[in-house]
Structure 1
């Protein structure tokens, strides 16, 4: 169902991030947020127009390298968009 009136443009897709203290200290949490934001920039176009997505970092995200975060984010987006097993 499209919540927009006919002829009305959908707002851009947006993503928010939740990184709790369980991930690590402030420096680690901010690093994870920066990495996720950077990764999501390239992937936000995959979402339907007007989508609002919240990405929650789990405790292991503080130890994950950039490639692992990208792989995990891609898997989550595939599940979200209906292209992966649950």
Structure 2
């Protein structure tokens, strides 16, 4: 399980990464990577936000596993496998980075080893400084 502070949870967070981040496609997944998380818009804090802890400082990840992957049991199994794979690779990411992992239908038939390999290779592409921006 990923710690709560290492997970993307809200739709605007996912949207920012998918729209503004770099993308790497693999056979079982598409990775969306945003090296610098955007500052929250709005300026003044909302009432009650003063007691809220500061924004998380470590890399965060979110998962999108749609109905095309399979039924609920299959989707949850794929999500658990992806979470375990990302947990092992999260330390490779900059502390200010956000990552969204979108599972493709092929992920339903892939075992954990294949998912880990695809994740590692996708991150290699995204983190390579020589890659096109």
User: Where is the helix percentage greater, Structure 1 or Structure 2?
Assistant: 1
Q: 5+ unaligned residues in a row in structure 1: which ranges?
A: 4-9
Superposition CA RMSD, Å: 2.2
Say whether 1:39 aligns with 2:85: yes
State the TM-score, normalizing by the size of structure 2.
0.54
Give matches, 1:27-66, under 5 Å: 27-66=73-112
- Which of 19, 22, 25 is equivalent to 2:71? 25
Normalised by the size of structure 1, how large is the TM-score? Answer: 0.82
Partner residue, 2:52: none
SS of match in other structure, 2:110: coil
Q: CA deviation at 1:82?
A: 1.7
Q: How many residues matched?
A: 79
- Which residue matches 1:71? 117
Higher gyration radius (CA): 2
Post-superposition, which runs of at least 4 consecutive aligned residues in structure 1 deviate over 6 A? 83-86
